[in-house]
Every structure is written in C-alpha cells, then in structure tokens.
C-alpha cells in the first residue's frame, strides 16, 4: 500500500495530540466469516483543529468514529490504540466510556429526526444529557438549555425548548442536536455527515456555526463526510479512506491543490463543478414573466398555470400556502430543475404533478391530461406515463419484495405481460441501469445505496414514461456513486426521450444535468431561465445567496464564496 502523508504545521501548543489513533484495526464476524472494516489506521487530531475523514460508503469512516466512542457491536473485534488526551479508550471500562460519551466527546449525527426521541421536547432531551454528566438541579439545567440553544443561533430558545422534534425544521433540529453535543463542554466533537440532508443555505449556517464553536470553545472536530465542498470549507487536515485503509493524509490546502493518490484524484474529479460566482447589479428584482409557448412546437409535456397549493392550518387556523401562483412548463425531452431551500415548495409541486396532492387553484396538465379534473381511468392511464425516483430508495422500495418484484410492479399494474415476459423485461431494465441480472432475486437490504437507487430508476422507467420526477435522487450518495447515477440518468434520457422534473438543492448537480432551472422561494418562482444564464449570472438576490452558499471543492475559492454568502445574508431582508 502506498500512503501519501504530509504533516500540517503545528505550533508548540498543539504538538501533544488530543486524539491519537494508532494501528487501529476493526473486523466483524458475520456468518462465521471475518470481514476487515479498518486496516492499520493511524492519525492525530489536535485541539482547535478540524480533521475530515473522507471516502465512499463502506470505507471505514463511521466505524472508526464508533470505535472511538466504544459503540461497535459485540461482533466487532478491535485492536490498536485510541487515546483521548492520553487516556486509552480501546478496552476501557464501561464506566469510563459512559463518562467520555456526551461528556468529553460530543456527537452530531446525520439525521437528527431519528437521533432525537419524538415523544420528548427538545428542552427535556438536552436537559437529560446535561444531568447525565453533571449534578445540577432541574431549574439550573433548564436555564442552561436556553443558553445553549441561543449559543447555536436559534432565535427563540424558549419556543424551541418547548417544541417536539417534528415541530422544527431540519436546520433547527441540527442546531438543537449540536447544542446537546456541546452541553457538557466536550474537548472533541464527532460530526458524522452533519449536513448531508440539509439544503445549501442551512448547510452554510451549520458549517459557520461549527467554525465559530471550534474557535470559541477551542474544541477539536472529527468530521465524517463524503462532501468534498464541506471538507474544503471547514477542514484543516484530511484523511482519505478506501476499503478501510488510509491512502492519503494532508492539509486541506495540499490535498486539494496537489492530491498524491489516484483514489483521491478520482474522488475530486467526481465532484460536480460550479461556475465562478458573478453577482448582478443590485436593484429591485421582478418576478419572471411566464414565457409564451411557441405554437410551431409540440405542446409541452408538463404545464402549470397559476398553481396554488395550500395545506390546512393547525387547529382550524389559517391555511399554509406552500405553492403560490406558479407557472412552469417542461417540453418534450427537456430536463427542468427546481431549486430552493427546504419548505420552498419543490416537493409539493412534484406531488401535485403526480396527482398525489390536490391544487387549491390553477391547472396542472401532464401529457395532455388535466390532473385535477381527470377521471379514475384517465388518472390510471396518466400514471402509466409517469415515473418517480425518490431521495431514499431504502424507504421507497418494499423491504419484503425482491428487486425483480419491485421493478415488475408497474408492469403488473399497467400491462398484460405474462410472468415470463415480465421477467425478461426486468432483466432488460437491470441491464439498462448497469446492474447484473443475478440481482433479480435479492432484497433491498442486500444492496448498496447506489445499487438501490439504480433499482428505483429501473422501476421508474419500466413503462417508458413521458415524464420522470426525480426528487433529490442523489443527495444521500457518495460523490463517485452520485456521478455514476447522474451519467446514468442522462444516458437513459437520451435513450428513452422522457421529460424530467429534477428537484434538488445541489446547484452543482443542476448545472451539470438540467436544461432550464426555476428558483423557488417561499412558494414562488423568483427566477427562471436556462441553467447557464441563471447559475452564472443570477439576477435575484435569493438566487445569488443560494449559489454563494453552495460549497466548492477548493479551499481558496470556498473562502471567497463563504464571505460572499455572509455579505448577502446580512443584506437580505
């Protein structure tokens, strides 16, 4: 194994490492066989530093972090050394590990909604974490909760403390999770994919918070991520893992400017690129006028005219307007992207197009069918021309059905093909998404995330749809897997000719994939046009803010974009 290593410059105050991992090896016993997850890993992390562990899924990133916390299952075999300020953690007594977890080491998880208990308020859960490690009274813990929620930038700490997890946005939940992680003044913060499921503006705020906490509290941060833009934004040192082995260690500046290992170069090459940020002259932005349709061209596959979608208010309160007077069209064979923050109305529009959500006013026409007025038979025929790919294939595929049965489901519902003909068609679809036919009888849990997403795409195109709705189809995937899925979508679109509504918060992916883009803000389209125009010279301040918030895999460029995002955020109403 060839390992490229460049030690970052260390001052005298940081020569003694806070966290030292030496010769770490982790294996698992599965069905009598030994599977090596981590091989002879060694690295050091100093106070006030951010060290990023990067690599594809299965590379050993999270296993290394869980070994540090002593949270690996009983089937794991761990050897080597992990010391925290000189204290050995491997083989440590359970009492010591309980003191370390949440006390000296705080942890931020990828999905706070599953990490937090849904039946307790945010304040109760943070107070419980405090009292588990410190002998404080309830009133003192409650006061500390409010202080912590204010520290992480939440505007109304009292309301947040009274709220249950489902009553907060993703960004608010992640900030609450961070406040819990720092509640006992940890010396080390482990952040496991802390921004993967967040939109770019919320992500930028969370990364800014991590930088501020690192500086203010002099914490070390062990960051686990597959997002190289996030690494460029916050990391001081980078450790690259592949198949459980460290293939490269370097400072962030050195790694991005001159990666030494071929695998590192492959990871960086797979990152979609954003153009340089150019801001239009300030002025009063006007909403885009709907573009008139060319009567000489075929009618669009999708047309939304003045669409409004409202959700009922809580306890008979005022309804919530999620989509407000949206006009949009998608021509045959065209890919149109919807971008915007969480809650801007992107997925609501996708659900309205699929006939899964009624519109309050306006019209939605897909493949010549006005969805709101269609009969049951017309809706059945319309849905046979529609394919949908969701963000998380693990939840959209039936865990009890085989891959073949999941892909064959639309064939069973909408065609008269015999079982043998259906199986042949499924094999053709597996080949189309570059999966071997032997996976026909596997279940979703037996496949990787990228393979499951390919299965979801195969099911979506089974009937050669006129329209494909792709709702954040790559946001949870590694950059290399994401690149292959995007190439696959483009190849299938050229082959089948479907139109596509591509919903995403990743502007670099949109720039690579889409023909046109519509920017949504609070349910309204604030900017629309060709991708090259909108993303290279945005006219609306909100679009500029979105673009500036998107991290790029270049520390120098990212520092400039970060400052632009801060200035735009301060200037926004």
pLDDT band at 10 (very low <50, low <70, confident <90, very high): very low
Q: Where are the alpha helices (DSSP H) in 465-527?
A: 479-496, 507-513
Residue 399 CB-density burial (10 A; 0-12 exposed, 13-18 middle, 19+ buried): exposed
Residue 333 token pair:
């064979």
CATH of the domain at 358: 3.40.50.300
Is pLDDT at 331 greater than 90 in this prediction?
A: yes
pLDDT at 350: 92
Q: Identify whether residues 329 and 341 lie together within a single domain.
A: yes
Residue 115: per-residue pLDDT: 82
Out of 17-26, 126-135, 363-372, 431-440, the most confident range is: 17-26
Task: Please report whether residue 488 resides in a domain.
Answer: no
The answer to whether position 555 is within a domain reads no
pLDDT band at 277; cut points 50, 70, 90: confident
Does a structural domain hold residue 564? no
Categorize the per-residue pLDDT at 279 as very low, low, confident or very high, splitting at 50, 70 and 90.
low
Contact criterion met (CB below 8 Å) for 149 and 127:
no
Q: Is the pLDDT of residue 123 over 90?
A: yes
**For 236-256, what is the mean pLDDT?**
96
Residues 341 and 473 in one domain: yes
Number of domains in the chain: 3
**Cα–Cα distance between 568 and 277 in angstroms, integer?**
12
pLDDT band at 510 (very low <50, low <70, confident <90, very high): very high
Predicted local distance difference test score (pLDDT) of residue 284: 47
**For residues 448 and 351, which has the higher predicted lDDT (pLDDT)?**
351
Q: Which SS3 state, helix, strand or coil, does residue 543 take?
A: helix
Q: Which of 185, 215, 236 is the last residue of a domain?
A: 185
Q: pLDDT tens for residues 430-487?
A: 999 988 888 888 888 888 777 888 899 999 999 999 999 998 888 767 788 888 888 8
Between the alpha carbon of residue 303 and those of residues 5, 294, 326, the distances in Å are: 55, 13, 10
- What's the whole-number mean pLDDT along residues 42-70? 92
**Residues 473 and 359 grouped into a single domain:** yes
CA distances in angstroms from 7 to 15, 249, 253, 507, listed in the order given: 12, 8, 12, 34
Structure token pair of residue 210: 């991590």
Kindly state whether residue 368 falls inside one of the protein's structural domains: yes
pLDDT tier at 301, thresholds 50, 70, 90? very high
Confidence of residue 13 (pLDDT cuts 50, 70, 90): very low
Average pLDDT along the chain: 87
Q: Is residue 96 part of a domain?
A: no
pLDDT at 322 over 60: yes
Instruction: Confirm if 456 and 376 have CB atoms less than 8 A apart.
Output: no
379 shares a domain with 312: yes
Answer whether residue 91 is part of any domain. no
Same structural domain for residues 347 and 471? yes
Q: Look at residues 150, 185, 220 and tell me which one is the last residue of a structural domain.
A: 185
CB 181 within 8 A of CB 10: no
> For residue 314, which phi and psi values (nearest 5 degrees)?
-75, 135
Answer for the pair 194, 203: CB distance below 8 angstroms, yes or no. Answer: no
**What pLDDT sits at residue 379?**
84
Q: Which residue has the higher pLDDT, 367 or 196?
A: 367
Q: How far is CA 113 from CA 264, 339, 441, in A?
A: 32, 23, 32
What's phi and psi for 151, nearest 5 deg? Answer: -60, -35
Q: What is the pLDDT of residue 323?
A: 93
> End-to-end distance of the chain based on CA atoms, in angstroms?
54
Residues 107-119 pLDDT 10s: 988 777 778 899 9
Residues with Cβ < 8 Å from 239, sequence gap 6 or more? 43, 51, 52, 53, 54, 246, 248, 249
Q: Is the Cβ–Cβ distance between 180 and 125 less than 8 Å?
A: yes
Q: CA-to-CA distance for 217 and 48, rounded, in angstroms? A: 8
Residue with tokens 């954040």: 472
Provide the edge-to-edge strand list for the sheet that holds 467-471.
386-389, 467-471, 499-503, 335-339, 516-521, 524-530
| Rounded Cα distance, 136 and 143, in Å | 11
> Would you say residue 17 has pLDDT above 60?
yes
Q: Are residues 363 and 473 in the same domain?
A: yes
Q: What is the model's pLDDT at position 4?
A: 46
Q: Which two tokens stand for residue 454?
A: 């390919």
What is the token pair recorded at 237? 């040192």
- Domain extent, residue 424, equals 393-464
C-alpha angle with apex 8: 264 to 4, nearest 5 degrees?
Answer: 35
363 shares a domain with 407: no
**Cα dist. 335→152, 454, 514, 516 in Å?**
39, 19, 5, 7
Q: Are residues 365 and 413 in the same domain?
A: no
Confidence band (pLDDT; 50, 70, 90) for 396? confident
Residues 6+ positions from 206 with CB-CB distance below 8 Å: 171, 174, 175, 178, 194, 195, 198
- 436 and 310, same structural domain? no
* For residue 508, pLDDT beyond 70: yes
Bridge partners of 22, per DSSP, are 81
pLDDT at position 130 over 60: yes
Question: Rounded to an integer, what distance in angstroms lies between the CA atom of residue 452 and that of residue 126?
Answer: 36
User: DSSP assignment of 349-378, as one string?
Assistant: HHHHHTTSS--SEEEEEETTEEGGG--HHH
Q: Residue 169: pLDDT above 80?
A: no
pLDDT over 70 at 292, yes or no:
no
Position 291 scores a pLDDT of 60
Residues 451 and 381 in one domain: no
Considering the domain architecture, whether residues 447 and 311 belong to the same structural domain is answered as no
What region does 425 belong to: left with phi over 0, alpha with psi -120 to 50, or beta? alpha
Domain contains 47: no
Please list, in sequence order, all residues whose beta carbon lies within 8 angstroms of the beta carbon of residue 224, skipping any fewer than 6 positions away: 52, 53, 61, 62, 65, 190, 191, 192, 193
Q: Within a 13 Å sphere around the CA of 204, how many CA atoms are in the beta-carbon half?
A: 24
pLDDT reported for residue 373: 86
Output the pLDDT for position 9.
Answer: 44
State the DSSP code for 119: T
Residue 14: per-residue pLDDT: 44
Edge-first strand listing for the sheet containing 50-54: 4-5, 245-251, 237-242, 50-54, 220-225, 188-192, 105-108
The answer to whether position 122 is within a domain reads yes
pLDDT at 296: 67
The rounded distance, in Å, linking the Cα atoms of 334 and 330 is: 6
Looking at residues 72-92, what average pLDDT do you find? 93
Same domain for 356 and 471, yes or no, is yes
Which of 141, 164, 185 marks a domain boundary?
185
Token pair listed for 522: 């609070």
């Amino acid at each position: 194994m060839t390992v490229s290593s460049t030690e970052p410059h260390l001052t005298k105050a940081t020569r003694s490492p806070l966290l030292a991992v030496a010769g770490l090896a982790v294996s698992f016993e599965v069905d009598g066989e030994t599977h090596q997850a981590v091989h002879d890993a060694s690295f050091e992390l100093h106070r006030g530093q951010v060290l990023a562990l990067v690599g594809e899924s299965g590379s050993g990133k999270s296993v290394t972090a869980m070994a540090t916390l002593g949270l690996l299952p009983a089937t794991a075999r761990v050897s080597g050394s992990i010391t925290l300020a000189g204290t050995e953690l491997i083989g440590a007594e359970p009492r010591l590990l309980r003191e370390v977890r949440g006390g000296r080491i705080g942890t931020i998880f990828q999905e706070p909604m599953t990490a937090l208990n849904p039946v307790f308020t945010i304040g109760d859960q943070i107070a419980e974490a405090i009292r588990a490690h410190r002998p404080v009274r309830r009133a003192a813990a409650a006061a500390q909760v409010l202080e912590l929620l204010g520290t992480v930038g939440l505007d109304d700490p009292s309301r947040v403390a009274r709220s249950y997890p489902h009553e907060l946005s993703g960004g608010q939940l992640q900030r609450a999770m961070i406040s819990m992680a720092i509640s006992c003044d940890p010396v080390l913060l482990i952040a496991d994919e802390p921004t993967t499921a967040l939109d770019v503006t919320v992500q930028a705020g969370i990364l800014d918070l991590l930088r501020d906490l690192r500086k203010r509290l002099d914490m070390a941060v062990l960051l686990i991520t597959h997002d190289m833009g996030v690494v460029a934004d916050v990391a001081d040192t980078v450790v690259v893992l592949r198949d459980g082995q460290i293939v490269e260690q370097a400072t962030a500046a050195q790694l991005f400017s001159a990666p030494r290992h071929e695998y590192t170069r492959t990871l960086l090459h797979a990152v979609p690129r954003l153009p340089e940020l150019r801001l239009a002259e300030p002025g009063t932005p006007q909403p885009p006028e709907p573009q008139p349709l060319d009567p000489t061209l075929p009618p669009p596959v999708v047309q939304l005219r003045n669409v409004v979608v409202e959700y009922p208010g809580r306890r008979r309160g005022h309804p919530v307007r999620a989509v407000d007077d949206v006009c949009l069209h998608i021509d045959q064979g065209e890919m149109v992207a919807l971008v915007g923050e969480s809650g801007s109305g992107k997925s609501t529009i996708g659900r309205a197009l699929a006939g899964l959500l009624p519109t309050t006013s306006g019209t939605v026409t897909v493949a010549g069918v006005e969805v709101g007025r269609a009969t049951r038979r017309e809706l059945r025929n319309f849905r046979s021309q529609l394919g949908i790919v969701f963000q998380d294939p693990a939840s959209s595929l039936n865990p009890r059905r085989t891959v073949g049965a999941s892909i064959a489901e639309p064939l069973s519902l909408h065609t008269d093909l015999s079982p043998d003909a259906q199986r042949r068609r499924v094999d053709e679809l597996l080949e189309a998404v570059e999966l071997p036919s032997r996976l026909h009888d596997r279940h979703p849990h037996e496949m990787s995330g990228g393979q499951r997403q390919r299965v979801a795409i195969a099911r979506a195109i089974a009937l050669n749809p006129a329209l494909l709705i792709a709702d954040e189809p790559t946001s949870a995937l590694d950059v290399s897997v994401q690149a292959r899925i995007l190439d696959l979508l483009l190849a299938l679109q050229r082959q089948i000719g479907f139109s596509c509504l591509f919903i995403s918060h990743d502007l670099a992916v949109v720039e690579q994939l889409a023909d046109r883009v519509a920017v949504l803000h609070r349910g309204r389209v604030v900017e629309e046009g060709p991708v090259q125009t909108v993303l290279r010279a945005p006219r609306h301040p909100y679009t500029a803010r979105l673009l500036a918030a998107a991290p790029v895999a270049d520390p120098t460029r990212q520092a400039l974009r970060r400052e632009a995002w801060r200035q735009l955020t301060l200037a926004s109403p």
